Structure 1
Amino acid sequence: MEDKIVLHLSDSFHTNFSGIKRLFEFYKLASEYYNDTIYIDFYHLIWFDANLSALFGSILAKLNNENNLSFSTDLNFLQEHFDVLFRNGFLRSKSALDDEQKSTVSFRSFKPDDKDGFIGYIENDLLSHRGMPNFTEKEKDDIIESLIEVFCNIQIHSKSEEPFYVCGQYYPKQGFLTFSMVDLGVGFLPAIENKTKGKIDNSYDAIKWALEKKNTTKGKPGGLGLYNLNSYFNRTNGNFQIISGDTFWSLELETTVMKKFHFPNPYVGSILNLFFNYQ
């Protein structure tokens, strides 16, 4: 009888470079297996930011599609210690768990052509959440418009036909709500390198270019989505992270000497993490 494959998720996973890097490492380890079942050991997990379900869910789906891998784990242990992963819909149990704390923004995936479904989710799940700040109407409209532009860019820029994954989590004690979006396309660089005729040749500069007002790789006006999001989080002391290619960029890092971090084992596509300050 063959030994079963066991991969461990231990310690803490926060929405920062370290937490994301370790999920990328999980992907790399798992991607070496094919046509098998991997048992995920969570027994030494201390903390998992529930909004990272968007990234983790995309990883499991990608491994299932490309390597024909399935996954098993001790669901009873997870339900006892990490019930938030059931309350946000990432995991399913026989007894449905209600999100009584109203702290989660549900884990969902959208096909790239399901713009209406995505808009409904943004309006009904994200922006109406109790953990959201008191927006002005203009701020709310700008955020909806910006997120729609991000969603529409998946098809245009990233050449992705894979689903787009989202999930959010409200942290009342810390006073912020984090919302994560993950696409499995080619990332920022290819379209921007092409648009700039090779002047921009690395992921950090591509992210910075995409954040500039009105920079767009489309042939028509656009490019306000990321600029407006960046402006909003700058103004409200929130945070904003973009992960694409081998680069981790964040609004917080821009004021430090570091500016960016590089992943030794990059994933695919791009990840946006939005940190809304509850005001």
Structure 2
Amino acid sequence: MGDRIMIDLGAQEIRADATGFDSLANLHAKLSGYRQASLGIDSRHLGWIDAQLGACLLTIVNHSRMNGNDIQFFNIAPRIQTILQKNKTLVGTRADVHGTTIPVTSFSSVSEVDFSKFTRSRLMRPEMPRMSNGLKEKFFEGIDELFANGALWSKSPIPFFAGGQYFPRKDRLSFVLSDGGQGIQGSLLAAGKSFSDPVAAIDWAMEMNNSARQGDIPGGLGLGILKDFVAMNGGCLFVCSHLGYWESRNGRVTKRRLSGVYPGTVVSLEINTADAKSYHMQSAVNPYDIW
């Protein structure tokens, strides 16, 4: 390791919840104090990380690399190293023999078409709940809008990262998009909408027709329709943005401030694949109604 400065990751597990993002924010805070340094992230205490959060790890690492730092991970448990190599978070060749990973992939802010192709090809798995063609199109339009909003407002200095994981034993399909930008509160402020609290800014953005876009540019669909879908599906949607955390799980909403700043905005979609219901657009007049 030579003269490399070692930084303790400081977490025994990192899961897709508020506690997990407290840990990620803590890592970001530790790395943010260094410039032009050779850094090592000591992961010896880490016993588990949800695979889709590799997208979030790369957001944090790339922010640090923007400061001229060289970063490597050390002392990763073999099982975790295998997981993060299978989904392309870490360099290495591990075959995904079970076909459960959605590889962590980077996108520039002008890669809307590539992102749209990526989500459709990776999320339309046999395990997905049955949707009518109309709802399926609106569902993916909602995900596309998340990317478009980030491209328009986040002012991210690094690429966007997206990835996911199918957990067959838990009947869950998880997908994450992390933009690395100025956060929802900062984006809304730039659009002339001021919120004193980051959680309140997220809460406002979660309403169906709320959008910072102006004039004839459509907006306000993405988070709203995804929120309504997962509520009926029994899944989970959460948004983490700088100091704010908002989660809807099984239709129940929880909100809180994080203990530190996560660099950017993360939207995490967790779909209940055990859901046997079929979903359709209720009305062509109101395309936001799902049943």
CA distance in 1, matches of 2:43, 2:187: 38
1:176, CA displacement in angstroms?
A: 0.5
1:72, CA displacement in angstroms?
A: 4.2
1:131, CA displacement in angstroms?
A: 4.1
1:111 and 2:108 matched: yes
1:214 and 2:215 matched: no
Match of 1:83 in 2: 82
Q: Which runs of 4+ in 1 moved over 3 A?
A: 1-4, 77-82, 193-198, 253-256
Match of 1:234 in 2: 231
1:135, CA displacement in angstroms?
A: 3.0
Contact 2:34–2:67 under 8 Å retained in 1: no
Structure 1 residues 190 and 8, CA, compared in 2 at 3 Å: closer, same or farther? Answer: closer
Q: What amino acid maps onto 2:213 in structure 1?
A: K
Q: What amino acid maps onto 2:225 in structure 1?
A: N
Number of residues paired by the alignment? 271
Match of 2:62 in 1: 61
Match of 1:274 in 2: 269
Structure 1 residues 81 and 155, CA, compared in 2 at 3 Å: closer, same or farther? Answer: closer
Q: What amino acid maps onto 1:66 in structure 2?
A: N
Match of 1:137 in 2: 133
CA distance in 2, matches of 1:45, 1:197: 40
Q: What amino acid maps onto 2:261 in structure 1?
A: P
Match of 1:167 in 2: 163
Match of 1:261 in 2: 256
Matches within 5 A, 1:126-205: 127-193=123-189, 197-198=193-194, 200-205=195-200
**More moved, 82-91 vs 34-43:** 34-43
Contact 2:49–2:80 under 8 Å retained in 1: no
1:27, CA displacement in angstroms?
A: 1.2
- What SS does the corresponding residue of 2:90 show, helix, strand or coil? coil
- What SS does the corresponding residue of 2:95 show, helix, strand or coil? coil
Contact 1:253–1:260 under 8 Å retained in 2: no
- What SS does the corresponding residue of 2:262 show, helix, strand or coil? coil
Structure 1 residues 14 and 131, CA, compared in 2 at 3 Å: closer, same or farther? Answer: farther
CA distance in 2, matches of 1:80, 1:155: 35
Percent identical: 26
Structure 1 residues 236 and 254, CA, compared in 2 at 3 Å: closer, same or farther? Answer: closer
Contact 1:203–1:247 under 8 Å retained in 2: yes
Q: What amino acid maps onto 1:158 in structure 2?
A: S
CA distance in 1, matches of 2:193, 2:30: 36
Q: What amino acid maps onto 2:87 in structure 1?
A: N
Match of 1:6 in 2: 6
TM value normalised by structure 2: 0.85
1:101, CA displacement in angstroms?
A: 1.3
Contact 1:104–1:169 under 8 Å retained in 2: yes
- What SS does the corresponding residue of 1:167 show, helix, strand or coil? strand
Q: What amino acid maps onto 1:245 in structure 2?
A: H
1:209, CA displacement in angstroms?
A: 1.3
Contact 1:33–1:69 under 8 Å retained in 2: no
Deviation string 1:212-260 (CA, Å, 9 cap, x unpaired) is 122111113321111111111111111100111311110139736xx31
1:138, CA displacement in angstroms?
A: 2.5
Q: What amino acid maps onto 1:252 in structure 2?
A: R
- What SS does the corresponding residue of 2:13 show, helix, strand or coil? strand
Match of 2:278 in 1: none
1:194, CA displacement in angstroms?
A: 5.7
Deviation string 1:181-212 (CA, Å, 9 cap, x unpaired) is 101111111343465654x3322221121121
CA distance in 1, matches of 2:42, 2:178: 24
Instruction: Let me know the Cα RMSD of the aligned residues.
Output: 2.2
Deviation string 1:72-131 (CA, Å, 9 cap, x unpaired) is 425xx54455311111111122xx221011111110010000111101111112x23344
Structure 1 residues 269 and 72, CA, compared in 2 at 3 Å: closer, same or farther? Answer: closer
- What SS does the corresponding residue of 1:274 show, helix, strand or coil? strand
TM value normalised by structure 1: 0.89
CA distance in 1, matches of 2:209, 2:21: 29
Match of 1:97 in 2: 94
Q: What amino acid maps onto 2:19 in structure 1?
A: S
Contact 1:102–1:130 under 8 Å retained in 2: no
